């Protein structure tokens, strides 16, 4: 039904429907399922996300010891009330961190669009829930709206860190979240596209450099920043701010940047933060490998 963001927005506008409705109809057609079946499937994904957020903000630790407990610290900081940024943004950040800490602790999450970037969409969703008071059905629609933009990225660029760097993972997730936030807040399909473009173009070039090859450092905190980016971009789009570069062109730029990115910066743990002295020390400690024996 649609191949790019321009076609997605045109369909929504011409049919006077939301982005999420267009995505639901596409899923029904592609999977030969009823709307009830498609909605039920996404409801299960929502439940998995909710459980991960709730588990994470209670506190988890990864087996490597690299990550865990930061979501708890953030929630405690919010409770004190003397934070500098907005409560909704900080809540989104803490819940994005919570989800990725659960992932690092080998818990169950929903890849959105990948496991390494799984915190951004649920983090923002469960933060804006307290602000916008959506119904459960509207929360499911949020996921379909995010999925529509993820569908475009996956089919025109990449959502893989190994193929395109972290811009393709957390960048895509943040753009998806921003677009969905706009729809839930009552924005237009065109504003959702602007939010996606604003978000993604400010994460272009982000490398994938996991310390010790684990999806923990800096992945968890990148989900935090992706959530914050998504929230701000959504507000900008809702305020009427537009991207001078169309969304589809931003996605194409991301793809080309990923292609030109060195292999050392695409999930290989050969460069970036993974190659720092501390990164190498942590790797050696976790795997019990003497630094001079690392091959």
Q: Examine residue 183 and state whether it is found in any structural domain, yes or no.
A: yes
Q: Examine residue 199 and state whether it is found in any structural domain, yes or no.
A: yes
Q: Examine residue 291 and state whether it is found in any structural domain, yes or no.
A: no
Q: Examine residue 295 and state whether it is found in any structural domain, yes or no.
A: no
Torsion of CA 108, 159, 175, 117, to 10 degrees: 30
The two structure tokens encoding residue 24: 């639901």
- The pLDDT of residue 181 is above 80: yes
Domain count, the chain: 1
Residue pLDDT, tens place only, 47-64: 999 999 999 999 999 999
Which sign, positive or negative, has the C-alpha torsion 285, 290, 292, 294? negative
Q: Examine residue 289 and state whether it is found in any structural domain, yes or no.
A: no
For residue 61, report the phi and psi dihedrals to the nearest 5 degrees. -130, 140
List the domain range (segments joined by +) for residue 67.
Answer: 5-284
Q: Examine residue 110 and state whether it is found in any structural domain, yes or no.
A: yes
What single string gives the DSSP state of each residue in 156-198? HS---HHHH-HIIIIIHHHHHHHHHHHHHTT--HHHHHHHHHH
Q: Examine residue 292 and state whether it is found in any structural domain, yes or no.
A: no
- Name residues whose C-beta falls within 8 Å of residue 107's C-beta, 6 or more positions apart in sequence: 52, 55, 56, 60
- CATH number of the domain residue 172 falls in: 1.10.4100
The two structure tokens encoding residue 205: 């070039």
Cβ density class 60-75: b for 16+ within 10 Å, e for less: bebebebbbebbbebb
Residue pLDDT, tens place only, 204-263: 999 999 999 999 999 999 999 999 999 999 999 999 999 999 999 999 999 999 999 999
Q: Examine residue 294 and state whether it is found in any structural domain, yes or no.
A: no
Q: With beta carbons less than 8 A apart as the criterion, state whether 211 and 217 touch.
A: yes
- Rounded to whole angstroms, the Cα distance separating 2 from 130 reads 32
- Rounded to whole angstroms, the Cα distance separating 51 from 46 reads 9
pLDDT band at 1 (very low <50, low <70, confident <90, very high): confident
Whether a cis peptide bond, with omega within 30° of 0, leads into 229 is no
> What is the average per-residue pLDDT within 6-29?
98
The two structure tokens encoding residue 141: 């629609």
Closest CA to 204 of 155, 176, 167, 240: 167
């Amino acid at each position: 039904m649609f191949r790019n963001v321009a076609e997605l927005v045109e369909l929504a506008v011409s049919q006077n429907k939301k982005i999420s409705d267009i995505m639901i109809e596409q899923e029904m057609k592609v999977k030969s399922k009823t709307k009830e079946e498609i909605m039920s499937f996404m409801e299960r994904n929502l439940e998995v996300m909710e459980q991960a957020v709730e588990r994470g903000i209670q506190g988890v630790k990864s087996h490597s010891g690299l990550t865990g407990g930061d979501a708890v610290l953030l929630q405690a900081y919010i409770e004190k009330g003397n934070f500098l940024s907005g409560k909704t943004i900080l809540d989104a950040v803490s819940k994005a961190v919570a989800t990725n800490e659960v992932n690092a602790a080998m818990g169950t999450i929903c890849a959105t669009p990948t496991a390494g970037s799984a915190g951004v969409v649920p983090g923002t969703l469960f933060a804006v829930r307290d602000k916008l008071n959506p119904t459960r059905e509207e929360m499911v629609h949020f996921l379909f709206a995010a999925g529509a933009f993820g569908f475009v990225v996956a089919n025109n660029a990449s959502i893989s860190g190994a193929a395109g760097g972290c811009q393709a993972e957390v960048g895509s997730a943040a753009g998806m979240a921003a677009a969905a936030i706009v729809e839930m807040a009552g924005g237009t399909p065109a504003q959702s596209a602007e939010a996606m473009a604003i978000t993604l173009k400010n994460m272009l070039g982000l490398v994938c450099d996991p310390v010790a090859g684990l999806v923990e450092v800096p992945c968890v905190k990148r989900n935090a920043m992706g959530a914050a980016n998504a929230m701000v971009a959504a507000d900008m789009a809702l305020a009427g701010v537009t991207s001078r570069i169309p969304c589809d062109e931003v996605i194409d730029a991301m793809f080309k940047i990923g292609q030109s990115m060195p292999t050392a910066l695409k999930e290989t743990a050969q460069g970036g933060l993974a190659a720092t002295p501390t990164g190498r020390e942590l790797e050696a400690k976790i795997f019990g490998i003497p630094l001079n024996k690392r091959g």
